[in-house]
Structure 1
Amino acid sequence: MRAPDEEEEIEKSAAPLIEHLIELRQRLIWAIGAFFVAFLVCFYFAKQIFNLLVIPFKWATDWAGLPTDKVDLIYTAPQEFFFTQIKLAMFGGLVLAFPMIATQIYKFVAPGLYRNERRAFLPFLIASPILFLIGAALVYFFFTPMVMWFFLSMQQVGPDTDVQISLLPKVSEYLGLIMTLILSFGLVFQLPVVTTLLARVGLLSSEALVSKRKVMIVVAFVVAAVLTPPDPISQIGLALPTILLYEIGIWCARMVERKREEEAQAAANASSGADGAAS
């Protein structure tokens, strides 16, 4: 049951509909403004950012035993590289502006939450971008070089063959590959956050997660096959962390349930102590 002082706190924070709409407009302006500024910054440095994203490709060429003094990428339409830079700026702007966007969302919904609900929500607001960055770093430093090395190994080059087949990626397709992998891993790394939140609100239990473990393993490989390029390295590389994160989610759900039981026991002990004192 919610305490009367918490009910009073919510009543004090209640506002007419027009005030909520004004508040929503203000939060949207801040969020869109942050995204627009981040977009402009990323577009100004789009070529440098793209060159930074090509570094894993250089690592892959080194692993494949190919010359690494330069890496060739092409574009086959006059406007292709321009629109690739716009897409890159939008993606980078969203990543850079996410803390501000998340803060504005939290500030909008926080007045409607109780004090204990705000305290419970804040750790997840911090953990979510950190886990996303961990997934993105895993893509950048390991899986992208592995995937590109796999594709480079299919080349048919050298003096011993009459047919020369070499990989010349298009700038748009290479960026699309990087963005797909980063988004896939970044979203999968949110699994512990989602399971913990659902466990906190009572919509999910650790027993239910354990009972669905075998199904989850199959779903992890199916989702990995859909989200990643059609190569075994990236598919297995996404499926295995998904299964590991699912196990971490089970552990987090158990921790939430244990804490809830401890709080319920403490409340019961306090209630019995107050009844004993009154009698």
Structure 2
Amino acid sequence: MSDSTEHGAEETFISHLIELRDRLVKAVYGLAAACVVLMLWPGPSAIYDFLAQPMLASLPAGAKMIATGVISPFLVPMKVTLLLAFLLSLPWILYQAWAFIAPGLYTHEKRLIAPLVVSSSLLFLGGVAFCYFLVFGRVFKFINEFAPASISVAPDIENYLDFIMSMCLAFGVTFEVPVVVVVLVRMGLVSTDKLKAIRPYVIVGAFVIAAIVTPPDIVSQFSLALPMWLLYEIGLLVAPMFVRVTQAPESEQ
């Protein structure tokens, strides 16, 4: 290899590193901007009050949550605000990742990756929204109905935050089932016929996963297992169409 070739390769590598740095900086700026906006309006306290609403609605009239840590009233709302800022800036962050890798892709590869990035983001956010708006209220009501009259229900805000974060993460990840199915079929690792054949095992697995990652009540388990099964079926329907659309033309193979 000549010196000019080595020098050109080195310059190309450095230019890629500079481009990566610029994209990371822009992603951080987007996250920071979202944090500043949320800090100013509606503010960490209002954001946490919104997040706590499903639990407060299930508590007895006049009951409130408690903070057992000294700095918990400050730290927990700040954590929630940062988490929400990340979710809001996620499209911008993913766009920066896409802008970095897109120039090196073929046309058919762009048709493959762009829908996966967009659908993954939407499905994750959809899982979080499904958990908050449809699951939390029913789960908390179901659990608190079992509390004996001699117990005063007053959840700690740190424990509540840990619980809702784990639940939202579980629903967000499991809502990625269609993407997993599509990727497996597109990569040729498994056929749709094989995935249809193992459907009974998938249904059982969905309920097993739901029993592991959700509280030990039937409401939350069914709330996760049934959507997981339905999303699996959606993946089976979409996968063949996705494979046809993203096939490489003969000129690019």
Match of 2:45 in 1: 47
What is the correspondence of 1:175-254 to structure 2 with a 5 Å cutoff? Answer: 175-254=161-240
Q: CA deviation at 1:104?
A: 0.7
Deviations 1:216-241 (A, max 9, x none): 22322222223222322212211111
Alpha-carbon contact 2:20-2:100 (below 8 Å) kept: yes
Helix, strand or coil at the partner of 1:73 = coil
2:117 aligned residue (106, 121, 125): 125
Larger Rg: 1
Gaps of 5+ in 2: 1-10
Aligned-partner residue type, residue 34 of structure 2: A
* Pairing 1:105–2:101 present: no
Match of 1:166 in 2: 152
Helix, strand or coil at the partner of 2:130 = helix
Helix, strand or coil at the partner of 1:193 = helix
Mapped to 2, the partners of 1:60 and 1:43 lie a distance apart of 28
Helix, strand or coil at the partner of 1:54 = helix
Match of 2:138 in 1: 146
* TM-score, normalising length: structure 2: 0.84
Mapped to 2, the partners of 1:212 and 1:194 lie a distance apart of 15
Deviations 1:190-237 (A, max 9, x none): 111232233233333212312332222232222222322232221221
Mapped to 2, the partners of 1:19 and 1:73 lie a distance apart of 52
Gaps of 5+ in 1: 1-14, 158-163, 268-279
Alpha-carbon contact 1:216-1:243 (below 8 Å) kept: yes
Alpha-carbon contact 2:47-2:77 (below 8 Å) kept: no
Mapped to 2, the partners of 1:255 and 1:71 lie a distance apart of 52
Mapped to 1, the partners of 2:120 and 2:141 lie a distance apart of 30
* Pairing 1:21–2:17 present: yes
Alpha-carbon contact 1:177-1:229 (below 8 Å) kept: no
Aligned-partner residue type, residue 16 of structure 2: H
* Pairing 1:134–2:126 present: yes
Q: CA deviation at 1:18?
A: 0.7
Mapped to 2, the partners of 1:231 and 1:17 lie a distance apart of 54
Identical columns (%): 37
Deviations 1:28-76 (A, max 9, x none): 1111222223234444511101111122224434xxxx42xx4400011
* Pairing 1:36–2:32 present: yes
Q: 1:137 to 1:71 in 2, by over 3 A?
A: farther
Mapped to 2, the partners of 1:42 and 1:230 lie a distance apart of 34
Aligned-partner residue type, residue 240 of structure 1: L
Helix, strand or coil at the partner of 2:189 = coil
Deviations 1:229-275 (A, max 9, x none): 23222122111111111111111123335x369x79x98xxxxxxxx
Mapped to 2, the partners of 1:42 and 1:154 lie a distance apart of 37
